Chains A and B, each alone.
Chain A
Amino acid sequence: MVPLSYYLVLSAILFACGVMGFLLKRNIITIFMSIELMLNAVNLSFVAFASQWHALSGQIFVFFVMVVAAAEAAVGLAIIISVYRTRDTLNVDRVNLLKL
């Protein structure tokens, strides 16, 4: 059996990748995907713990996260499309109407 620490390290690496992508990328779609990556990194640690401790609640929580992520994807993509329609760009640095 693969030890728990392997899963957690992988989860941490994925989460860090997500954070770095979120911070460094300019394209909204990429940022969006980075968020999904972070969510799934967390999901991975949830199921790893659930399997380790034989506790079902971790697995159930993953479903909740997936549902929220799906809803978020629906809303987020709609926003991204309307941003693209109005500004002809997906670069977040150009979406700066509220900037001083």
Chain B
Amino acid sequence: MNSPNLFLWLIPLLPLVGAAVNGFFGRSFSKKTVAGVALLFSGAAFLLALRVLLSLASLTFPYVEPGISWIRSGTFHVNFAFYLDQLSLVMLMVVTGVGFLIHIYSVGYMWDDDGFYRFFSYLNLFMFFMLMLILANNYLVMFIGWEGVGLASYLLIGFYFLKDSAAAAGKKAFITNRIGDFGFLIALFLMIQHFGSLDYQKVFAIVSQLPAETVTTGVLTAIGILLMVGAAGKSAQLPLYVWLPDAMEGPTPVSALIHAATMVTAGVYMVARSHAIFDRAPTALLVVAIVGTLTALFAATIGIAQTDIKKVLAYSTVSQLGYMFMACGVAAYSAGIFHLMTHAFFKGLLFLASGSVIHALSGEQDMRQMGGLRKKIPWTFWTMFAGTVAIAGIPPFAGFWSKDEILWRAYSQGPSKIIWALGLLTAFITSFYMFRLLFMTFFGEYRGKLESGEHGHDSHGHDSGHGHGGIHESPALMLVPLVILAILSVGGGFINAPKFLAPVFQTEAIASGAEAHALTATGVADEAADKSTEFRLQLSSVGVALLGAFLAWVLYLKSPHLPGQIADSLGGLYRTVSNKYYVDEFYNLVLIAPLIAMSRNWLWKGIDQGFIDTVINDSAEATGDAGGALRRMQSGNLRSYAAWLTAGAAVVLAYMVWLGVH
């Protein structure tokens, strides 16, 4: 079938134009113009993506749009070409759709901020790089997007760069990501060395000819694990997750767009995209599964004890990303991407709603200063309620379907039931801390200082500039995206993403044969037998979700004095959890402090000052001394020049005479 021209190259380019226009000229624009430009270009990208979706029927996947040649070196070619299949299409819709909604929301949220044009320029720049990452035809162009979103993330985390903590958080995110990128780069080098190409189609064609690696050492295993290192950095997995909670220093829409819905899921996308490699490297896949499962559980437990509303959501994001990797790790890529999609809806929603709460409270982020907001900001409450129920996994909300899919796959095709058990435990904790957040924020008595109607000028937190009035509902510009995302959070689970995505992951499986069973998963033969198991699993996951919600209700609504008592009786354990297991402190002690000490004592004082500076300074001094000595010859006295001349002539003459004698 003849595919229509989709103008894929225009989709990333439009936000780039928006970023350039706002970045270069935004300073002199009015806020309305800035917002208009940003919305126009991100909206146009969304419409183009929508056009792609609508022409779905006439498309043959994968659709490759030949781009311009970039690198040509011998047999190694890299093109700026674009690649579209079901996987990138899902990502495309999520990024442009959620991205556009968050753009709208940001207009309301950032209206009073001085850096308005700067914010939208960065936000559009982020969209450009993210779309490059998704639509790339090869790993190198993906890497451009990969690095670019890191840059945009850095710029936006440090958006309030006058604040030390924001600047530090930006640097932390950037540097932590570098560690992951290092792994990614090495993986790319290995691909070039062994496959001679970075094109998805060429690499996967070569890989699918290879047998699965059963031994622990092999090229595919190495590539897989290194890719996972990259994904762990970008998607905030153990042990590189530490940057994401700090990234909450950025404005809340940024947390929603970059650090919840899109950028942090790039790692999941990359692993799913490279499934051909992971399918043939069971060890790498096992690493993915273990990292994902542990991260999910680990981050969820930290989430219990956080009091900052955005920090809870940040750890929740880390935890949910762990779920996605868990899914990829049991070769249920489509379930992982499905969860990625629903997560983009409900976590984007939760962040935006939390931003609305913060906005309402003039910058307050501490949940201990909230409570009873249900009546005061009903729209925010109801949308946040939808998001909470969705993430907790209560049917029929979106999170239930995707999380259940993951747990079911983990149970049925995972290497061990432990993964499923830990996943279920995480689901319970997730439900608990999310309802804790909901109850602490919207129920009970208001515990803050800000009175309704009173002007609050003591805006804590960083989103200062919102101190215009008492507790107030957000403007419609912010509520509309909330409502749309809430609808998606409610109904997003009915989009049958796994079935839609199946062709991407299935063709490979059939080719390799051995994994066919694992990948088609619900093999037709034992489907009937699986049904009852699946139903029991669904019951159990709903059960733990409700149990978590109930526990949160008991602890934070019925008898609010209990959590304090429990925390007291747990003592050290509670302090450890509420201090995030001292991971930051541990990294400081083991990695950062020695690194700084080594840099200071050896590299700076030893090599730089001791060796390089000494050599340079000494040679400069020697040159100066030699010049000073020779300068005496150039006295400016005519007769001394004549004397030198004569002396020289005499020497030459003497030499000639000496030659003549001998």
Interface residues of A (CB under 8 A from B): 19, 22-24, 26, 92-93, 95-96, 98-100
Contacts and interface: CB of A to CB of B under 8 A. Distances in A.
Contact of B643 (A23, A26, A96): A23
Those 7 A-B pairs whose CB atoms lie nearest each other, nearest first: A99-B636, A92-B638, A98-B636, A96-B636, A23-B642, A23-B643, A22-B642
B72 interface: no
Given A19-B646, A23-B646, A100 B639 contact: no
B639 A99 contact: no
A19 B653 CA distance: 15
A19 B647 CA distance: 11
6 contacts: A23-B639, A24-B639, A92-B639, A93-B639, A96-B636, A98-B636
Interface in B618-662: 631, 634-639, 642-643, 646
Contacts of A92: 638-639
A95 B635 CA distance: 12
Given A23-B646, A95-B638, A100-B634, 5 more contacts: A19-B646, A23-B642, A96-B636, A96-B637, A100-B636
A22 to B, nearest CB: 6
Nearest to A98: B636
A24 B636 CA distance: 16
Contacts of B642: 22-23
A93 B634 contact: no
Contacts of A24: 639
Interface of B: 631, 634-639, 642-643, 646
Contacts of B638: 92-93, 95
A22 B640 CA distance: 11
A41 to B, nearest CB: 14
Nearest to A97: B636
Contacts of A100: 631, 634-636
A30 to B, nearest CB: 12
B639 to A, nearest CB: 6
Nearest to A25: B639
B643 A99 contact: no
B631 to A, nearest CB: 7
A93 B631 CA distance: 19
A93 B637 contact: yes
A99 B636 CA distance: 4
Contacts of B637: 93, 96, 99
Contacts of B643: 23
B206 to A, nearest CB: 74
Contacts of B635: 99-100
Contacts of A26: 639
Contacts of B631: 100
Contacts of A93: 637-639
A43 B374 CA distance: 119
Contacts of B634: 100
Nearest to B646: A19
A24 B640 CA distance: 10
Nearest to B649: A19
A26 to B, nearest CB: 8
A26 B638 CA distance: 10
Contacts of B636: 96, 98-100
A93 B642 CA distance: 13
A98 to B, nearest CB: 5
B309 to A, nearest CB: 75
Contacts of A96: 636-637
A83 to B, nearest CB: 12
A39 B536 CA distance: 122
A35 B635 CA distance: 22
Nearest to A95: B638
B302 to A, nearest CB: 74
Nearest to B640: A23
Nearest to B643: A23
A12 B194 CA distance: 85
A2 B637 CA distance: 42
A15 to B, nearest CB: 11
A19 B648 CA distance: 13
Contacts of A98: 636
B157 to A, nearest CB: 59
Nearest to A24: B639
A52 to B, nearest CB: 19
Nearest to A100: B636
Nearest to B631: A100
A94 to B, nearest CB: 10
A15 B646 CA distance: 12
Contacts of A99: 635-637
Contacts of B646: 19, 23
Nearest to B638: A92
A60 B638 CA distance: 33
A22 B639 CA distance: 8
Which of A23, A24, A93, A95 lies at the interface centre, i.e. has the most chain B CB atoms within 10 A of its CB?
A: A23
A12 B183 CA distance: 85
Contacts of A95: 638
B526 to A, nearest CB: 100
B332 to A, nearest CB: 84
Nearest to B650: A19
Which of B634, B637, B638, B643 lies at the interface centre, i.e. has the most chain A CB atoms within 10 A of its CB?
A: B638
Nearest to B634: A100
A24 B646 CA distance: 12
B592 to A, nearest CB: 55
Contacts of A19: 646
A93 B635 CA distance: 11
Nearest to A96: B636
B102 to A, nearest CB: 71
